[in-house]
Amino acid sequence: MTLDTSGISSKVDYTQLSTVLKGVVNSQGLVLRRVLVSRNDTLNEQLKLLAVTGPTVTPELFPTPEDRLAYWYNARAAWSMKLVMLSGFPPTLEDGMETRLFALDGRMMSLKAIDDILRADSDWRTLIAAPGVALHRAALPREALGSKGIRAAIAQRFNDLVDDDLRFIIDVDKQEVQVPPALWAIRKKVMDEYDKTYGAAGANLLTALLPYLHDGAERRIRDVMGYRILPRKGPWYMGIVWKEY
């Protein structure tokens, strides 16, 4: 997808994204469909600015890793919402949605391309905590993220993901923990890191997650120690509220 960016000057400004997110995302991290449709023009203006600004096309505006992380998180949040709109608010993630090309950072990119960049970060939580609309991904934030405090925000977002029963599934009847696919894909790395740090041997994934958790998320995982640990399977439902009253 291309955008008419004539007359748009490059700058780091996520104000319009914050305006959209504050009205569109509810307390559960779900998207209010009708509100998003009503704010389409505001979202488009943010997307145009992101199209001509970014770590590749205007590197001088993103001198630190934190500047770049905030950009990719905000870009993923904005384009996740736009792609859902363009797809007609499907109940499940459609084939090709994550590889659909759009104008970003002076080039054509996709959600998958953003994920590839986030995956390369030194903190494995960075990809896992990245925002999306689908319920197997971390929730959208309720405002745009800034570079200041982005590392703390990532840590909190990962904690919130584990504490979210819509996204991190625990089946008490079956005594199963269904791990989101992005986390499942790197489970060995997480477990190896725990073993190396704490001098352990053969820690399971739930144990390896505990140092990164606090409050409700930590209690949630401690309560299910001994459960089977499985990858979450599709279909990948979208976190959309279709009927708003």
Mean pLDDT of the chain: 96
Instruction: Indicate the residue type of 51.
Output: A
109-128 residues labelled b (16+ CB within 10 A) or e (exposed): bbbebbbebbeebeebbbbb
Picking from 49-58, 125-134, 167-176, 234-243, which range would have the lowest pLDDT averaged per residue?
Answer: 234-243
For residue 129, being part of any structural domain is answered with: yes
Residues 157 and 198 in one domain: no
239 occurs within a structural domain: no
Question: Do 45 and 149 sit in the same domain of this protein?
Answer: yes
Do the domain assignments include residue 133?
A: yes
Q: Do 159 and 40 reside in the same domain of the chain?
A: yes
178 and 153 within one domain: no
- Asked whether residue 119 is assigned to any structural domain, the reply reads yes
Determine, yes or no, domain membership for 141. yes
Give the domain range for residue 226: 169-231
Domain boundary among 108, 129, 163: 163
At residue 154, the pLDDT reads: 98
The fraction of the chain above a pLDDT of 90, given in percent, is 94
Whether residues 62 and 38 fall in one domain: yes
Residue 245 pLDDT > 60, yes or no?
no
Helices 65-86 + 111-119 axis angle, to 10: 150
pLDDT greater at residue 50 or residue 242: 50
Domain count along the chain: 2
Has residue 9 been placed in a domain? no
Question: Which residues have C-beta within 8 Å of that of residue 186, sequence separation ≥ 6?
Answer: 124, 128
Same domain, 150 and 187: no
Q: Which of 124, 139, 163 is the last residue of a domain?
A: 163
Rounded to 10 degrees, what is the CA torsion of 11, 60, 66, 2? 50
Looking at the fold, whether 140 and 35 belong to one and the same domain comes out as yes
* Window from 172-176, 225-229, 240-244 with minimum mean pLDDT: 240-244
Looking at the predicted structure, is the pLDDT value of residue 4 above 90?
no
Residues 38 and 136 occupy one common structural domain:
yes
Is there a single domain that holds both residue 109 and residue 203? no
**236: in domain:** no
Q: Has residue 199 been placed in a domain? A: yes
The per-residue b/e assignment along 77-102, b for 16 or more CB within 10 angstroms, e otherwise, is: bbbbbbbbeeeeeeeebeeebbebeb
* For residues 158-181, average pLDDT: 97
Beta-strand runs (E) in the chain: 31-32, 102-104, 107-109, 169-171, 176-179, 228-231, 240-241
Q: Are residues 207 and 109 in the same domain?
A: no
Over range 145-164, report the average pLDDT.
97
Looking at the structure, do residues 85 and 146 belong to the same domain, yes or no? yes
- The answer to whether the beta carbons of residues 155 and 180 sit under 8 Å apart is no
pLDDT of residue 244: 64
